[in-house]
Amino acid sequence: MTTTPTTPRASHPREALFDSAVAAPDLPVCDHYAGVEIRMRKSLALQAELGPVFDVTLDCEDGAPIGGEAEHAHLVAEMLMSPANVHGRVGARVHPVDHPSFAQDVQTLVARAGSRLAYLMVPKPQDAADVDRACAEIDHAIRVHGGGRHFPVHVLIETLGALREVDRIAAHPRVESLSFGLMDFVSAHRGAIPAAGMSVEGQFTHPLVLRAKLEIAAACHGRAKTPSHCVVTEFSDLDAVADAATRASRELGYTRMWSIHPNQIRPIVEAFAPSAAEVDQAIEIILAAQDAQWAPIRHRDTLHDRASYRYFWQVLERAHRTGQPLPAEVRLRFFAPTASA
């Protein structure tokens, strides 16, 4: 009796090319901050319109008036639980761990909105011990109020002590992403970095600022975490925003960037998206590679194997995260709910 050989199931790129234990988180490329109620509502409405191509971070630190921190945390929790949170990609920034309102922020948000929180952002740690303390407080609140749902923690690197221990912070198992806090970092140098170091040009040319950005990006990539680039305060100059986002992505290795005005969101998303030519090349190579069961292939007189497949798969993932149009075959093969099941 003879049997007909069967073709093995083509494995998904995430299964074939990566160790799942060190896979980087799949986060939107833009993180938009809003702290005032009217801006929070407008940000959620825009996210509902554009889709989850950007996150919204509701801000308890800079958004709360002095003396009104508790009320503001309740407002943020209300926003998180409202029907306006369509896509479940809304997080919150709490006060620093040494601020009197930190524990109250955490308790309120976890107890009232822990089921919908995409992440909590912890600002201004002085060192890795502060991150340990913040995560312990968050996890205690989850055990008491959150039903065991361990949403991720993001950390804002804006002090000299945190930069000094950035690799330890990136290695923390509860940390998903590190952001660079440009303004506070420059201020921490007590005038040694001029105000120009906070500008759209100076933040890419001053050696101390550039060093900080590179160390954060390197720590994140070494620990499979997401590096998030700092703000551009010249929010009305959309060309400057687009240029900064392009440099952050193409030169410094950042895969995410902050927005502080709704007009910045689209230029950031577009800058972090691969070009149409890059997407087309990636599609050709990844489809051929999967059909070859991830063995080496020849594509346009160039040899490719798993090392280059990883790169081109990441191009496709970035295209998907930024809402780029993809052929139906690609969507069904790789991004349908059951594609990697």
| DSSP-H helix ranges across the chain | 13-17, 37-50, 69-81, 102-113, 128-145, 160-164, 166-171, 182-187, 207-222, 238-250, 262-272, 276-291, 306-321, 328-330
* Tokens describing residue 328: 């139906």
pTM, two decimal places: 0.91
Over residues 232-280, the pLDDT tens digits come to: 998 889 999 999 999 999 999 999 999 999 999 999 999 999 999 999 9
Collapsed DSSP state (helix, strand, coil) of residue 73: helix
- Give, in words, the CATH class of 20-272: alpha beta
End-to-end CA, the chain:
34
82 CB burial (10 A radius; 0-12, 13-18, 19+) = middle
Length of the chain: 341
In this prediction, residue 7 carries a pLDDT of 47
In this prediction, residue 22 carries a pLDDT of 65
Residues of the chain with pLDDT under 50: 1-7
Domains of the chain: which residue ranges?
20-272, 275-335
Contact status, residue 227 vs residue 25, Cβ threshold 8 Å: no
In this prediction, residue 3 carries a pLDDT of 46
Contact status, residue 242 vs residue 270, Cβ threshold 8 Å: yes
